[in-house]
Structure formats: C-alpha cells, structure tokens
C-alpha cells in the first residue's frame, strides 16, 4: 500500500511502520528503517528504533552495525554517545 501512494517520502510513514518491531517483524522494520534514513539520515529515532529491534531479537552484531552507521551519519557530540 505504501508503495502505491503518490509520495512515499514522508518520514512519519516510515517511522510509524518501524513500529512493526512490536510484532517481531525485523524484515519490515529494516525496510522502513532504510527508507527513513534515505529521507533523513540524521533521524536519531530511526537508528535507536532499529538498534532496539535488533537487540530484542538477539542480533547483537546487527545492532552494532546500526550504531556504527549512526555515528558515521550523525554529527554528534562525543558525550551524547550512549551505546
């Protein structure tokens, strides 16, 4: 349905879809995450949500990869680094 919308570059659509983590759907969550960061690579919430999703699924190496991506893409004061 999202792909049939006239414009799918609304960040709130992808952020809402990332809520699929509550149902354990990692694939849909990752798909939404990829679209969200294409729209705004500085969207800290998307990185945190995806990291949490991976950690909840026991996918620690994937969570670390997302954290590295966040640090690379977001200009952040070193003291705000929490992971």
- Tokens standing for residue 62: 């994937």
Q: Would you call 9 helix, strand, or coil by DSSP?
A: coil
Q: Encode pLDDT of 15-52 as tens digits.
A: 666 666 566 788 888 988 998 898 889 988 899 989 99
Q: Are 73 and 41 in contact (CB under 8 A)?
A: yes
**What local confidence, expressed as pLDDT, does residue 18 receive?**
67
Does the pLDDT of residue 64 top 80, yes or no?
yes
Average pLDDT over residues 64-76: 88
Residues 60 and 63: their CA atoms lie apart, in Å, by 5
- pTM, rounded to two decimals: 0.70
**What local confidence, expressed as pLDDT, does residue 4 receive?**
55
């Amino acid at each position: 349905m999202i792909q049939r919308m006239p414009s799918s570059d609304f960040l709130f659509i992808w952020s809402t879809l990332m809520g699929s983590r509550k149902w354990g759907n990692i694939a849909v969550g990752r798909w939404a995450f990829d679209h969200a960061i294409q729209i705004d690579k500085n969207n800290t919430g998307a990185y945190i949500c995806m990291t949490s999703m991976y950690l909840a699924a026991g996918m620690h190496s994937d969570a670390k990869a997302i954290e590295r991506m966040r640090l690379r893409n977001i200009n952040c004061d070193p003291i705000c680094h929490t992971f």
